[in-house]
Structure 1
Amino acid sequence: MPLRRPHRLSLAALAGAAVIALGVAVPAAAAPVPPVGPSVLTETAAAELVPAVTAAAGDALAGTWFDDGRLMVGVWDPAPAAVLGALGATPVLREGPRRDPSAALRALGGRTAAGLPDGLASYGIDPRTEQLVLDVVEGPDAGRLAGELTAGLDPAVVRVERVPAVPRRQAAVSGGDTISDGSRRCTAGFAASDSAGDWVITAGHCLRGSATWYAADQSTIGSGGRTAGDGVDVGAIPVEQGSASPTVAGTRVRGTSVAPVGSSVCLHGSTSGRSCGTVQRTDVTVNFEGEQQSGLTAVGACAREGDSGAPYITSGGQAQGVHTGAGGSGNCTSYFTPVRTATSALNLTLTTG
């Protein structure tokens, strides 16, 4: 599929209706609270701190993200600032009246429940601006579509961006690299297990119609497999006991602490190799060539055909998710199913070491 470079769109209110306008800057959504001793954190430490600051902020919480050694915590009320600072986070006071991107997300989810329009690539919340972001495929109908989808929503809550095309899942028609069923090539993900034995997790769309999977040397990895339901694009291949290593490109899988938005994670694909970028959004709904998939995480990392099923992991060994596809300019916005969603949907336990 040919790719074109994206342009940004911002949503503005005009005569009481949502109107899309090119080149309109989004107003500053937050202002810093007076410093209370923010700490310089590693990405691992920031991820471990998220549950505590979420609880401390309570109803005032307005997003968390990682930025240059700091765990930023948006708040609608300055009252929790001192506690958040004492925990090691950096509170950010949102300007303007309180807004609710989650409500806008639910509204849009209702409007697209029957299926995503062809021109809507994805949508999800950006915690840095506390906005619902829609990625709309550029073209003559982009403005009309964005206006219809966002009609009646608070313009301050919504941001529309243009992308060159809808994302694509990335199982390649080639063989012999990492895992192949003889006609398609994908990527082995994380090792997992259940009472029946050991498994290798990969993308669900890789397993459809496949029977036996082979390694690059044509040795058999496993036969059969299972896929998750309810629109979760993950599957698992049964393997011999002990043959699935709890490592990703030499990094041992230590756990599943979720990397906050702004943190760096790396995809390890059979085609792309190691491809790293920052987490952009979570809980994203994506249009994969007419098939809707929700609950994904978007990462600013490039991916290529054959990377489907690839694992995403942090430098500290925290498993993040399973690659399902990519879009944007140069296929450099990638999407993964969170690993906790994957293991839950497959009734498996992640293997760590």
Structure 2
Amino acid sequence: MELTKFLAALAVFLPIVYGAPTQAANNLHPEILAAMKRDLGLDAEQANVLVAREIKATEVIEQLRTLAGNSFGGAWLVDGELNVAVTDEALTSDVTATGATPLVVSNSLSKLEEAKAALDKIDIAQTLDKRSEETGIAAYYVDVAANKLVLEALAGSTAQAEELAKQVGLVESEFEVHTVEEMPSTFATVRGGDAYYINNSARCSVGFSVTTGFVSAGHCGSSGAAATTTSGASLGTFAGSVFPGNGDYSYIRGSSGNTFSGTINNYSGGTIAVAGSTASAVGASICRSGSTTGVHCGTVRALGATVTYSQGRVTGLTQTNVCAEPGDSGGSFYSGSQAQGVTSGGSGDCTSGGTTYFQPVNEILSAYGLTLVRG
């Protein structure tokens, strides 16, 4: 889009971004508002304004990404305010014209993403010291706010993490190594709860309904596995499953006679309607519903992360600071009423807090040609 047309288009919706919340945002479900108040400290008006800004910020980000091209350095939200990084100082005025805050950075987003993609092709497990249990690369992702590639590693693997970053062409100023205390794990531990069961054994949580069944995490079950209710009634059969590798997702083709609703269980006796699947930006608020811990909220911390589970690496996940526990796997991640993804795994718990990753839902829908059911 030409710059003049771009700025003219922005003039239409920027008052919405930085003004009153849209009608769609004003229709946030009471349970969403309650969770955002509990976990983010927001009252109803603040939550509505925040979600409205986040929805519109997604449009601004895509426009600026196209405008900046290889000079685009990434974008993120802080309390609903949009920050956009560029490597070309001449573009800062264009960023300012959108109402966003410009920052000039050294590294383009494409450069950091290319380095991460190169890491995805390396057999990292073979580079680690097998003599110690304190080794492992937990995850790696592009931190757009820091303008660096971040590698998370156990204490015994920080040196290997640094070498890996250099191996894919990065210098010390272009990456950071963070020490973590434990490796991520999936949440498909067998526990009681209102959820679905795989082969009458392991428990997971439903992600989102599609017109022919529902989607969930790939590590929950392999193709051909049976999905049942807690009482043993058939829900369907796993028609597709990816894990580990290029995602953590599955499609369960529903059994005849079942009704798959476009809603999310709020674990308070009600439901939350799903309105669509517009992806949120880094820094956006996000909530999760799962059969072990119910509904919890937090923020998006990174997109396109690669995570190392004991079963192998998984690429393309979104990192959040929302807590989760075993049994929450496959459950719904959503921003406002927009479906975001299905719970994959992470570390920590809902007592002390933690890091949780989710598989973006739009990739699942695209992979299997599915249509999301809306409430």
Q: 1:303 — aligned with what?
A: 324
Q: 2:371 — aligned with what?
A: 349
Matched, 1:53 2:64: yes
Contact 1:323 1:336 in 2 (8 A): yes
Structure-2 separation of matches of 1:116 and 1:190: 38
Q: 1:248 — aligned with what?
A: 264
Q: 1:184 — aligned with what?
A: 202
Cα deviation code 1:177-212 (max 9, x no counterpart):
21113211100011113xxxx111111121237743
Structure-2 separation of matches of 1:211 and 1:232: 19
TM-score (norm 2): 0.75
Cα deviation code 1:250-292 (max 9, x no counterpart):
2222222111101111110110111211111111111011411
Q: How many residues align?
A: 309
Amino acid at match of 2:359: T
Q: 2:28 — aligned with what?
A: none
Gaps of 5+ in 1: 1-36
Matched, 1:215 2:242: no
Q: 1:102 — aligned with what?
A: 113
Matched, 1:325 2:345: yes
Q: 1:25 — aligned with what?
A: none
Which gives a bigger RCO, structure 1 or 2 (Cα 8 Å, sep 6+)?
1
- Equivalent residue for 2:81, pick from 33, 54, 70: 70
TM-score (norm 1): 0.79
Contact 2:246 2:316 in 1 (8 A): no
Deviates more, 1:179-188 or 1:102-111: 102-111
Give the direction of change, closer, same or farther, for the CA distance of 1:115–1:246 in structure 2 (3 Å limit).
farther
Give the direction of change, closer, same or farther, for the CA distance of 1:61–1:245 in structure 2 (3 Å limit).
same
Contact 1:39 1:89 in 2 (8 A): no
Give the direction of change, closer, same or farther, for the CA distance of 1:101–1:113 in structure 2 (3 Å limit).
same
The secondary structure found in structure 1 opposite 2:172 is coil
Amino acid at match of 2:164: L
- Equivalent residue for 1:90, pick from 77, 101, 111: 101
Deviates more, 1:100-109 or 1:57-66: 100-109
Query: What aligned pairs does 1:138-177 form with structure 2 within 5 A after superposition?
Result: 138=155, 141-151=156-166, 153-177=170-194
Structure-2 separation of matches of 1:175 and 1:184: 10
Cα deviation code 1:121-174 (max 9, x no counterpart):
010101111110000012xx2333223323352111101101111111111213
Gaps of 5+ in 2: 1-14, 20-51, 129-134, 266-270
Deviates more, 1:248-257 or 1:143-152: 143-152
The secondary structure found in structure 2 opposite 1:111 is coil
Give the direction of change, closer, same or farther, for the CA distance of 1:275–1:234 in structure 2 (3 Å limit).
same
Structure-2 separation of matches of 1:220 and 1:109: 38
Q: Cα RMSD between the aligned structures?
A: 2.6
Q: 2:139 — aligned with what?
A: 122
Matched, 1:280 2:301: yes
Deviates more, 1:58-67 or 1:43-52: 43-52
Amino acid at match of 1:185: R
Q: 2:53 — aligned with what?
A: 42
Give the direction of change, closer, same or farther, for the CA distance of 1:231–1:331 in structure 2 (3 Å limit).
farther
C-alpha deviation, 1:176, in angstroms: 4.9
C-alpha deviation, 1:97, in angstroms: 7.4
Looking at secondary structure, tell me which structure has more helix per residue.
2
Amino acid at match of 2:355: T
The secondary structure found in structure 2 opposite 1:164 is coil
- Equivalent residue for 1:135, pick from 146, 152, 157: 152
The secondary structure found in structure 2 opposite 1:343 is helix
Structure-1 separation of matches of 2:92 and 2:122: 37
Deviates more, 1:158-167 or 1:108-117: 108-117
Deviates more, 1:210-219 or 1:124-133: 210-219
The secondary structure found in structure 1 opposite 2:164 is helix
Give the direction of change, closer, same or farther, for the CA distance of 1:258–1:241 in structure 2 (3 Å limit).
farther
Contact 1:191 1:245 in 2 (8 A): yes
Q: 1:204 — aligned with what?
A: 218
Structure-1 separation of matches of 2:361 and 2:331: 11
